[in-house]
Amino acid sequence: MLDGWMRGVIDPGLNHVGKILAQRGVTADGVTLAGLSLGLLAALVLALGGPGWAAALPLMASRVADGLDGAVARARGKTDFGGYLDIVCDFVFYAAIPMAFVLRDPSSNGVAGAFLLATFYINGSTFLGYAVLAEKRGMETRSRGEKSLYFTAGLLEGTETIAFFLILCLVPWAFAPLAWAFGTLCLVTALSRVLLARRSFH
């Protein structure tokens, strides 16, 4: 829901830094993998029961890298593999954080974490399925920035998910109720995308 607005805020700065990194030989794929590594580090800190701030710092740095890889790609020239790698790493990151909370406290977080991961899986399938059909029909949009895939708007998008993860870092003891609530909203987002696909592709 907030990704379109957020892109307008952060893209000018990211594009400026991306050009500088590209001029210095940094590759977009390298930035993508660095972002994933930082995200997995945040997940490891959470899984081991570390303090929330210690996980929040690499988590935020990971998401900055996730924005920078696209800026570097635009400066150096985008590739299909780069877009593919980016979405794969995003999904790995989105799975790692809930899984970290499950490992942190399986008895309290296990069921809620499984529900949250299931809703991420469902929501992700509606997103990727729509992107495939949109590509087949030659549809384009830049409302979520210049992307390799067709990004559909939804109630919950990347901005809301990152904010949710940061809140979890600050109040890890509240993971279970927050996971149930966020997972439910993920299902609402998935259903809205299915209805949109029915109108667009029927």
> pLDDT category, 18, cuts 50, 70, 90?
confident
Q: What is the pLDDT of residue 147?
A: 55
CA distance 43 to 39: 6
Q: What is the pLDDT of residue 8?
A: 62
The Cα-based distances of 98 to 32, 52, 91, 132, 168 in angstroms read 20, 14, 12, 27, 9
> pLDDT category, 148, cuts 50, 70, 90?
low
Max distance between CA atoms of the chain, in angstroms, equals 50
| Residue among 196, 191, 108, 145 at smallest CA distance from 12 | 145
> pLDDT category, 191, cuts 50, 70, 90?
very high
Rg (CA), the chain: 17
**CB–CB of 18/72 below 8 Å?**
yes
Token couple for 165: 């993860």
What is the per-residue pLDDT across 163-173, written as a single tens digit (0 to 9) for each?
Answer: 999 999 999 99
Q: What is the pLDDT of residue 139?
A: 75
Task: Show me where the domains of the chain are located.
Answer: 3-201
Q: Give the pLDDT mean for 6-34.
A: 84
Predicted confidence (pLDDT) at residue 55 exceeds the cutoff of 70 = yes
Dihedral in degrees, nearest 10, Cα atoms 179, 181, 185, 188: 110
Say which CATH class 3-201 falls into.
mainly alpha
Predicted confidence (pLDDT) at residue 142 exceeds the cutoff of 90 = no
What's the whole-number average pLDDT of the chain? 88
What is the per-residue pLDDT across 107-116, written as a single tens digit (0 to 9) for each?
Answer: 999 999 999 9
Q: What is the pLDDT of residue 132?
A: 85
